[in-house]
Amino acid sequence: MRLTRPRTRPFDPDLCSFDKNIPGILQRIYAGRGITDQKELDLGLASLPAPDALLGLPEALNLLETALRDGWSILIVGDFDADGATSTALAMLALRAMGFPRLDFLVPDRFRYGYGLTPEIVESARDRQPDLLITVDNGISSIAGVAAAKSYGMRVLITDHHLPGAELPSADAIVNPHQPGCPFEGKNLAGVGVVFYLLMALRQRLRAQDWFSGPNKPAEPNLAQWLDLVALGTVADLVPLDRINRVLVEQGLRRMRAGQCRPGILAMLEYGRRNFRSVVASDLGFAVGPRLNAAGRLEDMSLGIDCLLEDNSSVARRRAKVLDDLNRDRRVIEADMERQAMTALESLDLGGETLPWGLCLKDEAWHPGVVGLLASRVKERYYRPVIAFAAEGGERLKGSARSIPGFHIRDALDAVAAAHPGLVDKFGGHAMAAGLSLPRGHYEMFSAAFDREVRRRLTPNDLHFEIVTDGELSGEDFTLEVAQLLRTGGPWGQHFPEPCFFGDFRIVGQRVVGEKHLKLRVSASGMPDEPIDAIAFGALEKYDVEALPDQMTLVYRLEVNEFRGQQTVQLVVENILLPA
């Protein structure tokens, strides 16, 4: 990959007001992410805004209070990803602790029903005779599903964080910070964050009414005990880590490090070879989230929710083993699909034209639960919005879309659907990810319309990947102490990226590990005499490693490598910059 010299995030110390105890390297990193005041680094729970500003909150609390006092049967309808699973588990655990007597959950089978509260899933829910349906991480676009539930006499409470369409469902209450007119500042909450805020408000109301006082009443629960679930769902759903989300994630991580964690999460960390005592946000994103998501992608997310709900450590470990096996299967399926897609793109004869700006791919043999991961891989390789389609059953295709910064993929789908009525059956999502379905015969027309919409919104320069780093490190910074400081200085994540640097290095040794990764020994001016290790994951898929020069510019992260109980400094290479 031949890339230009990286751009460095700006840092003006005169604009910053940090305490002297914040190391200079962290001050520089925080400032590059828009944080210039010490107050913005307060990640205590007391710094969270109150839930009062959430539109629809009074109606939601009235429903829940009536359900509690009258003993209603409640069915929680979740989603089949990690955010939906953690949202479901959080609602089950917290509502049960508050004294709700009749709780159950239902997750749509993505292969039969698709996403959200569809009329079909309402028919399935009807068999359980719920008085109240509570959606978590879905529902804001479920017009027909809510109508069906209401026709059967069910009350409906929607909690969601996805963007609403022009029409809202006729639910009894909606709690979603994105609904029109909602003044709540936490627009970036994941679905599990919305549920957590609703539960905070419910506990406050019940406390004010002395619900937790007196004989035969439940003890008031400490909601913080479930922040591990909130942290996991928030990180796994790739929502922007604004200050509110950083507080939720950091508080969850602190509890995990103290061993105050759901047994299922501890077991998934163990299978991911992560130490819970030093867990950071990236461990949730790369070790726990994929294992949990594998259940929804390949089988049934109820497997993942059951793992999160399990109190017995031995049983939780067995359930985590099932998720680990599914994740291994998912990796094989994804790798095979990626090879097929890349081979097809590399052999594509465009008659001198470049690839479409909005790239659509289709293979009806692809696994519909994995096309989102495939879209991400293709987007990373070709740096443009990508939608990957698989057969959904009958005459329909299911698509999963991934975008690049500056292109709002959900809004683009809305524009395509508005310009071509009937072209798309349904769609929904975020700025960076979305899902849709359409008739098989509409694929070619949709692909052309999507490409036109991308070209309307972007310029050629938007399709050029730009590397942005935190600058260069001096030789004395390549220490275990600095690496540990960077590791724990977050939490890092979406829109608050992990510190990344660049520099010129001399390569003193290299070897291939794990078939496609490149292990290096590198040295640079000012570094200690002993070279240090570097690892470039997937390098054999990106570079001709046999032709790499002895001197290279590396874009890297400084990390702590743990092996057999020993900690050492290691560079994790994100890009190798080669001369033009």
Instruction: Look at residue 349 in the predicted model and tell me its pLDDT.
Output: 54
Angle in degrees, CA 458, 431, 110, rounded to 5: 125
Secondary structure class of 166 (helix, strand, coil): coil
Q: Which helix (H) or strand (E) holds 452?
A: helix 443-457
CATH number listed for the domain at residues 468-577: 2.40.50.460
* 38 close to 18: Cβ distance less than 8 angstroms: yes
Distance of alpha carbon 530 from alpha carbon 514, whole angstroms: 25
Instruction: Look at residue 2 in the predicted model and tell me its pLDDT.
Output: 44
Low-confidence residues in the chain, pLDDT < 50? 1-3, 351-352
Q: Where are the domains of the chain?
A: 47-235, 348-463, 468-577
Residue type, 179: Q
Instruction: For residue 37, count other CB atoms closer than 10 A to its CB.
Output: 12
CATH number listed for the domain at residues 348-463: 3.10.310.30
Same fold, 47-235 and 348-463: no
Instruction: Look at residue 65 in the predicted model and tell me its pLDDT.
Output: 97
Got the DSSP string for 22-41? S-HHHHHHHHHTT--BGGGG
Secondary structure class of 73 (helix, strand, coil): strand
Secondary structure class of 360 (helix, strand, coil): strand
Distance of alpha carbon 116 from alpha carbon 144, whole angstroms: 11
Instruction: Tell me, yes or no, if the pTM score tops 0.85.
Output: yes
Secondary structure class of 430 (helix, strand, coil): coil
Instruction: Look at residue 423 in the predicted model and tell me its pLDDT.
Output: 95
Beta bridge mates, 74? 103, 132
Distance of alpha carbon 431 from alpha carbon 454, whole angstroms: 13
Confirm or reject CATH 3.90.1640.30 for domain 47-235, answering yes or no.
yes
Distance of alpha carbon 331 from alpha carbon 233, whole angstroms: 21
Q: Which residues of 309-333 are buried (b: 16+ CB within 10 A; e: fewer)?
A: bbeeeeebbebbbbbbebbeebeeb
Q: Which residues of 353-386 are buried (b: 16+ CB within 10 A; e: fewer)?
A: eeebbbbbbbbeebbbbbbbbbbbbbbebbebbb
Got the DSSP string for 486-555? HHHS---BTTBPPP-EEEEEEEEEEEEETTTEEEEEEE-TTS-SS-EEEEETTHHHHS-GGG--SEEEEE
